Amino acid sequence: MFILLILITAVPAYVLGSVNGAIITSKMLYRKDIRDFGSGNPGLTNFYRTFGLGGFILVVIIDVVKTIAPVLFGGWLFAHFTGMVLTEVGPLYRYFDLAYFGQVLAGFFVMLGHCFPLFYKFRGGKGITAIGCIVIIVDWRLALISWGVFILIVLITRYVSLGAILGSVAFSVSMYLFNVGGLAEHTIVIMCVLLVVLRHTPNIKRLVKGEESKLTLKRSKERKE
């Protein structure tokens, strides 16, 4: 039953995560593929730099809904079958907090779908909107810290990538400090953070070299060659 619940949670989460708001909106509104412009990343930042505010809200709505729906479902599913799951995991129950397990499990697979989408030849985004939604659902205190770190870093440095990385790390650290979840949930969140860092490898290299683009209110009109 435990494995079945994991599959019921993970598979739909990955499929929904593969729906990319930036790609859909750029093709639907502009007849262009966001991956052909700017950094080539089909995420919110590159979309804004390329197309401006037009369509931005639609991208946000799509990416938020595709994350929140499976995360809430995963949380409900494991909470509903808590008794059966605890019976199956036996003495390992001390490593789980099923109030959060379904949420972070679904969240991780949404992120996998967003980063490696089934529908777009596995060329996806970096999972920032997804992990930002996950932390809000898991615990409002963790959300305040994570989003606070993200906003503060972006305001100070204007590096969205740096804010995203440090904000994601803050999620994991604050989860530990507030003792939210068990070992299983902490492990999954660490995997989410590592995925964010992995997807930002090119950004990290540019940050080290001082070549990373800073956030600006001006949209870029340069097409990526």
Tens of pLDDT, residues 103-125: 999 999 999 999 999 988 888 88
Backbone angles phi, psi at 37, to 5 degrees: -125, 155
Based on the number of CB atoms within 10 Å of its own CB, is 156 exposed (0-12), middle (13-18) or buried (19 or more)? exposed
Residue 96 has pLDDT above 80, yes or no: no
Average pLDDT, whole number, for the chain?
Answer: 89
- Cβ neighbours of residue 152 under 8 Å, at least 6 residues apart? 163
Spell out the domain ranges in the chain: 2-209
Tens of pLDDT, residues 128-178: 999 999 999 999 999 999 999 999 999 999 999 999 999 999 999 999 999
Residue 19 has pLDDT above 70, yes or no: yes
pTM: 0.88
How much is the pLDDT for 52? 80
- Cβ neighbours of residue 105 under 8 Å, at least 6 residues apart? 6, 9, 10, 13, 74, 78, 188
Query: Where residue 215 falls among pLDDT bands split at 50, 70, 90?
Result: confident
Q: Distance between CA atoms of 141 and 219, rounded to whole angstroms?
A: 34
Instruction: Give, rounded to a whole angstrom, the gap between the first and last alpha carbons of the chain.
Output: 50
Query: Where residue 225 falls among pLDDT bands split at 50, 70, 90?
Result: very low
Cβ-contact 195, 127 below 8 angstroms: yes
How much is the pLDDT for 218? 58
